Amino acid sequence: MFKVIRVVGNSMEPSYRSGDYVLVGTVRWLWRIRPGDAVVFRHARYGVLIKRVLAEETAEQQYVVEGTHAESTAPVDLGPAAFSSVIGRALCTFSRRRG
Average pLDDT over residues 87-92: 96
pLDDT at 71 (0 to 100): 87
CATH classification at residue 63: 2.10.109.10
Integer Cα distance of 49 and 59 in angstroms: 23
Integer Cα distance of 22 and 53 in angstroms: 16
Residue-wise pLDDT tens digits, 21-69: 999 999 877 878 999 999 999 999 999 999 999 999 999 999 999 999 9
Residue-wise pLDDT tens digits, 3-19: 999 999 999 999 999 99
pLDDT at 27 (0 to 100): 87
Q: Which domain holds residue 60?
A: 2-94
Give a yes or no: residue 99 inside a domain.
no
DSSP 35-87: TT-EEEEEETTTEEEEEEEEEEETTTTEEEEE-SSTTSPPHHHH--EEGGGEE
Total structural domains in the chain?
Answer: 1
Integer Cα distance of 41 and 49 in angstroms: 6
